[in-house]
Structure 1
Amino acid sequence: MKGLYTLVLLGCSVLAKAQYQLEWKIADTAFAPLPKSIHVYETVTPLDGKPNHAYYIIADLKDKALTFTVDTSYRRGLTPDAFFAKYNQPHRKAFVIVNATFFNMKTFN
């Protein structure tokens, strides 16, 4: 039986000024294996002369083999690795985990 693919998004907050021209390169092989309906892009283009390392994904929302879901670590303090372990099981495969909320594991701020 074909496994169920799960795409987990924990939120996404990207602030970018419109005048920046970021150079995006496909980075699928760094995250292989991925389903054909998911592509990862990466940039290291500096912003305001400061280092910047960002990713975005394109996923086919019509791919019925993918499940898109949201989860939080509210009062649990889960790291991205812990979320990946939680969702990356034999019956479901996690491909994308985005940490865009808590960064202090003591105060969850």
Structure 2
Amino acid sequence: MKKFVVFMLLLTPKIGLAQDNWGVNALQNLNTGTRNIGDTISGIVNVALGFLGIVATAGILYGGFIKMTAYGDADKNKSGNNAMVAGVIGLAIVLTAFALSRFILASLYNETI
């Protein structure tokens, strides 16, 4: 126990030196007042579709978990299958919406987003 405490005390300065300013200047690099409306809209759409993609992926994982823990129960197995299919359909819709939004915003603002 004594060796462990001494080791941890020797390790403490190394942990203190491991800090960095990563992310400190993130708010200064947002350029909130200097962006045009196309960049702002595309940023909002990308964040929203990214969140929906995470939700669809979570639905697929939830369906897989239900299916794995069904233990031969036909109703739970079917429920897991339905959740996985709904998640895959949702993910396909999100990916299609992402592609359409990129195309529409690029054609509206005549620039690469």
- The TM tier, using the shorter chain, reads under 0.3
Per chain length, whose mean CA-contact separation is higher, i.e. which structure has more relative contact order (CA < 8 Å, sep 6+)?
A: 1
Task: Give me the TM-score of the superposition, normalised by structure 1.
Answer: 0.21
* Structure ranking higher in helix proportion: 2
Larger Rg: 2
